[in-house]
Structure 1
Amino acid sequence: MKYQAKKKALILLADGTIFWGKAVGDLEGSSFGEVCFNTGMTGYQEIFTDPSYFGQLMVTTNAHIGNYGVKDGDEESDSVKIAGLVCKNFSYTPSRYGASDSLENYLKNNNILAISDVDTRALVSYIRDHGAMNAVISTEVDKIDELKTKLAETPDMKGLELASRVSTDTPYFFGDEDAPYKIAAVDLGIKKNILRNLAKRGCYIKVFPYNATVEDLKSFNPDGYFFSNGPGDPEPLKDTIKVAQALIEENVPMFGICLGHQIIALSQGVSTFKMYNGHRGINHPVINHITGKGEITSQNHGFAISREDAEKNASLEITHSHLNDNTVMGIKHKTKNCFSVQYHPEAGPGPNDATYLFDQFIENIKHSKLEIA
C-alpha cells in the first residue's frame, strides 16, 4: 500500500474552470478529451475498455474506484479506451478473489493518466449545469496558460469521426463456424459482450471494419447484419450510412446498437444531435412502447436521434423512449426487417431487462429463413 505524498494534479475545463486533485501512481503529463461522467457503482473495467468511450475523460461518480482491481476476461476490448480517469478515492490495493492485477498497474500498462482526490460531486454537478465540454487532466500544474492554449485547439466531439480509430483493420471471426446462423457485423467499436451474446444464441459472426462495403458484407452470405456501438459523431460516417441504407433495402434482418442505431436512423433520413450531457450509467429507465413494460438499462452515448424526424418518418416506428428526458431509445422499420436501440442490451450489471433484444434479432432471422425456404 502506498502512503507517499501524491503529486498535485488538476482538471481544467474548456471554460477555464479548474478542479484540483492528486496524480494516481507514477504517470505524469497531460491528457485531453471530452469530459463525461458515468453513474455506475461497479463495472469500471468494462467502462474503461468500452470503445464507445474513446477520446473521453471519464469522471466516475462512485466514490471508490480500484477497490476490486481488474480481472482477465472482464474487458470489453483489447485495451483501455478512455483518454483519462478522474475519481474521488482511488484504491491502490485490490480486494477481490481472482483479481489479476491492481487498477493502478492496469492503467499504467495502458499509459492512461488518472487523477484522484477530486471533488467529483461538484465536478459532475458543474458538467450537468454547463454541459459536456472538452477538458484536460494534468500534473503540469505550473503550465496552466499553456494547457489552456492546447485545450482550445482540441477538436470538439461534434463532427468528430472516431469509429476508424477503434475498428478492426481486417475482418475476423467469432463463435462456432458450425452455428446455425451467420452474422455480418460492422465494427464501429464493437464490445466483446455483444459478440458473446450473439454467439451463445447460435451465431457465427464475421466482424468487418467500419468502412466495409455492401459487397464485402454480402460476400459472407449472412443471415443477418449487425451495426455496432462506437465513439464519436455518427454524421461523418457517410459511407457507412449509405451501406446501411442499401442493406435495409435488401430486407435481410438487421440490428443496430448505440452508434449503429444512429447510423440506421441517419440512413432513413432521421437526423442526430449532440446531447447536453449524454446518458452514461447502468440505471437508465426506458419504456418499451410495444409491450408497455419498463426496462432498467445500461447506456453510453453523447448523441441521439431526432424525435421530431422519427415521428414524421412514415417508414419508422418509435419503439422505446427514455423515461427521464423522452429521448428516442429504439426504432423499427415498418416494412423492412430492421430495428435498433440506443442503449446496451449486452450490458447486464444486475438487471438483464434488455437482453431479449438479441432473442428478437434471432427470431427475425428464423422467420426470414423460413420465408426464403
Structure 2
Amino acid sequence: MSYYKRDKRAWLVLSDGSVFEGYNFGCEGTTIGEIVFTTGMTGYQEVLTDPSYYGQIVLQTYPLIGNYGINSDDMESERSWINGYITKEWCEEPSNFRNTHNINEFMIEQDKIGIWDVDTRAITRVIREHGTMNGAITTEDIETTKAALMEKIREFKIVDPVQAVTRKNKGWYYSQVNRANHVALIDYGYKHNILRMLLRLGCNVTVMPANTTIDEIRMLNPDGIMLSNGPGDPAENVKIIENLKDFIKYGKPIFGICLGHQLLALAMGGATYKLKYGHRGMNQPVKDLTRDRVFITSQNHGYAVVPESIAKDVGKVTHINLNDGTCEGVEYPAIHAFTVQFHPEASAGPNDTGYLFEQFTDLMERGQQGCL
C-alpha cells in the first residue's frame, strides 16, 4: 500500500454489483470485508479500535468524522481491526486539547484503506434493504479490475475471528482501590473500557486468552468470571462453548457482554441467529424488564440470542430492544450469572447501565461471604 493523496479516486464495490465512486484516504490499495454501518455521532476512534469489527468494512452514517482527532487515551485495543472505512467527510484539521493526529494519519499508521465523499445514506439504505453484504474498497482502475474483484468479494469469509483478536498470554492488572475481588476476564476481543470499569470498582483483573480451560481457571481461583465482547458468529466457537460449560459447573459468578452474552446462552442450551444488518451505534433503546426502565445503549453486534431457546427453568430474559424486540439480556439465577447484549462499559456512549458492573461485584462479594 502507498500513502494518501487528497485527489486520489477510490471505489466502493458491493457484492450486488453496486459501485460508489469517491476519494481515497488512509492507505491506497484494495481491501475486502463485510460491510456494516454504525450510527454514532462520536466515538469513531473506539469504533476503529474495537476488536468486534474484525474483518469488517465500517460505514459511519454520521456525515463528518474526525473533528476531534485521535489520541492515545481513547484506544479500545492496541490497534485497529477494521478491514476498511467509509465516511461522507473527514476532518483534516481537528480541534481538541487531547488530539495528537488526524484520522487520515491514524489510518496510514494502521495500514488501513478508506473512502470518502460517497453517498453514505444511499449505501446505508442498500444494506438496510438487502442486509449485511460483502464489499471492497479499491484505488485500482475499476473498469479493468471489477470482474476479478467481484469474484473475490463473493468468496470472502471472516475466518476464526476470535482466535485472531484474542491475546495469547495472561495479563495481570491491579486496582488502586482494592475491594479484594479478583476477576478472570476472558478475552474474546475485549474492549479496554471493560478492564477500566472493573479496576475502577476495585477489582484485580487477570485477562485470559479465549481458549482458557477450567483447569487454568481453577489454578487462578478468581471470585468471578467476565466474558467479553468479540467478533463473528458465536456458534462457530465450539471449543469455547464447551469450556464455558465447565465454567458454569465451577460455580463462580459470571457476567457476559455482547459475544460473551451469546456464548453463555449457547452453553446453556440456547440458540443464536444472524440479524439482517445488526445493531451498531450508541442510540439503541433497551428496556430493563426487572427495573421497568428504558436505557439508551451502545451496541455493536450482528447476531442475537433466540429468547424462546432459553428454557424457563434455566434463565429469564431481563432486557429487550425496543426497536425490534430482540433479546438484550438474560439472567441465570441457579448459576449466579447474567449477560447483556449491549455495552454497559459504553466508551464512547451512554453510561447509564454501568450499574451492571456493580451488580457483578456485589455477586462476587456475596460469594466470598458464602451467601450465593
Give the fraction of aligned pairs with identical amino acids, expressed as a percent.
39
Q: Output the amino acid matched with 1:209.
A: P
Q: 1:84–1:113: 8 Å Cα contact kept in structure 2?
A: yes
Q: How far 1:335 moved relative to its partner?
A: 1.2
Residue equivalent to 1:100: 100
Taking the TM superposition and a 5 Å limit, the aligned residue runs for 1:249-268 are: 249-268=249-268
Q: 1:343 to 1:99 in 2, by over 3 A?
A: same
Residue equivalent to 2:337: 338
Residue equivalent to 1:304: 304
Taking the TM superposition and a 5 Å limit, the aligned residue runs for 1:117-266 are: 117-140=117-140, 141-142=142-143, 143-155=145-157, 160-176=159-175, 179-266=179-266
Q: Mean alpha-carbon deviation: is it higher for 350-359 or for 191-200?
A: 350-359
Length-normalised TM-score, structure 2? 0.95
Q: How far 1:161 moved relative to its partner?
A: 2.9
- Tell me, what secondary structure is at the counterpart of 2:74? coil
Q: Output the amino acid matched with 2:340.
A: V
Q: How far 1:249 moved relative to its partner?
A: 2.1
- Tell me, what secondary structure is at the counterpart of 1:324? coil
Q: Output the amino acid matched with 1:328.
A: C
Residue equivalent to 1:74: 74
Spell out, residue by residue over 1:164-220, the C-alpha distance to the aligned partner (whole angstroms, 9 max, x if none). Answer: 100001111122386511011110001100000001111111111111111112211
- Tell me, what secondary structure is at the counterpart of 2:111? coil
Work out the number of aligned pairs and report it: 366
Equivalents in 2 of 1:4, 1:308: separation in Å? 52
Q: 1:248–1:337: 8 Å Cα contact kept in structure 2?
A: no
Q: How far 1:151 moved relative to its partner?
A: 1.1
Equivalents in 2 of 1:63, 1:181: separation in Å? 43
Determine whether 1:6 maps to 2:7. yes
- Tell me, what secondary structure is at the counterpart of 1:194? helix
Q: Output the amino acid matched with 1:31.
A: T
Q: 1:161–1:233: 8 Å Cα contact kept in structure 2?
A: no
Determine whether 1:114 maps to 2:114. yes
Residue equivalent to 1:47: 47
Q: 1:14–1:134: 8 Å Cα contact kept in structure 2?
A: yes
Equivalents in 1 of 2:226, 2:6: separation in Å? 49
Equivalents in 1 of 2:199, 2:123: separation in Å? 40
Equivalents in 2 of 1:104, 1:218: separation in Å? 46
Equivalents in 2 of 1:29, 1:35: separation in Å? 17
Equivalents in 2 of 1:73, 1:5: separation in Å? 28
Q: Mean alpha-carbon deviation: is it higher for 314-323 or for 172-181?
A: 172-181
Equivalents in 2 of 1:324, 1:74: separation in Å? 29
- Tell me, what secondary structure is at the counterpart of 2:62? coil
Q: 1:36–1:132: 8 Å Cα contact kept in structure 2?
A: yes
Length-normalised TM-score, structure 1? 0.95
Q: Output the amino acid matched with 1:293.
A: R
Q: Output the amino acid matched with 2:204.
A: Y
Spell out, residue by residue over 1:257-293, the C-alpha distance to the aligned partner (whole angstroms, 9 max, x if none). Answer: 0000011000011011111000000010000010100
Q: How far 1:313 moved relative to its partner?
A: 4.1
Q: 2:84–2:114: 8 Å Cα contact kept in structure 1?
A: yes
Q: Output the amino acid matched with 2:298.
A: S
Q: How far 1:238 moved relative to its partner?
A: 1.2
Equivalents in 1 of 2:71, 2:354: separation in Å? 24
Q: Output the amino acid matched with 2:291.
A: T
Q: Output the amino acid matched with 2:152.
A: K
Equivalents in 1 of 2:174, 2:6: separation in Å? 48
Residue equivalent to 2:318: 319
Equivalents in 2 of 1:74, 1:372: separation in Å? 38
- Tell me, what secondary structure is at the counterpart of 1:368? helix
Equivalents in 2 of 1:213, 1:248: separation in Å? 12
Q: How far 1:350 moved relative to its partner?
A: 5.2
Give the root-mean-square deviation of aligned CA atoms.
1.6
Q: 1:313 to 1:162 in 2, by over 3 A?
A: farther
Residue equivalent to 1:369: 368
Residue equivalent to 1:279: 279
Q: Output the amino acid matched with 2:198.
A: L
